[in-house]
Amino acid sequence: MAGRDPIQISRRPGDRVRSLDPVWYAGYGSNLDAERFRCYLSGGRPPGGSRDHPGCRDSSPPLDDRPVLLAGGLYFALESRTWTGGMAFYDPELPGAVAARAYLLTADQFADVAAQEMHRLPSGPLELIAAAVADGRASTGPGRYETVVCAGVLDGCPVLTLTAPWRAGDVPPNPPAPAYVATIARGLRASHGWTDERVADYLAGCPGGPAKAHP
């Protein structure tokens, strides 16, 4: 994984979605770490976290996963119920690129992952997939991770991620907790092959990011 070049993802007018099942889920925060993401699939509590996840109704591993770069920026704000400290959010309107790990999931698995991110129980298909693909984004509520963004297309399948409906400048920044930073750092090293120095520079350069230190 670490030796693969990341794929640049952006929404382009010529992109064609061939299928809404499967879909790519792009994790840009703690879900960069495959072990942490497995808790959303199989259930359980991630190391350093304080919340148990019920898991997906289908706990099968991802069909594939790849390092990707999403057009936009990363920022930290609010207070995490799992890690304490600030939470990572994606703002596609910010300049730059966000390092993410795209997991190829069934549409039902993505719906279950999204439900858990929204602090809901997995219960059924997520109608927001088609709406997000058509319009670029769709929201199921006003809260954190209740907005689905279609960042682009990869191999004919939409690249979807979860974020908040607001912009980075609309909320006060809040630095993330050390356990959260360590989990993100593990994911960046494993999926993108980044050094500690590059990880530290990247996170410190985000609004609300931690002070530069080797995570």
Q: What is the pLDDT of residues 134-162, one digit of tens each?
A: 999 999 888 899 999 999 999 999 999 99
| All domains of the chain in start order, with CATH | 7-204 (3.10.490.10)
Find all residues with CB under 8 Å of 148, minimum gap 6, and list them: 114, 126, 128, 129, 131, 132, 137, 138, 139, 140, 160, 161, 162
Answer whether 0.85 is exceeded by the pTM: yes
CB 9 within 8 A of CB 26: yes
User: Does 194 have pLDDT greater than 60?
Assistant: yes
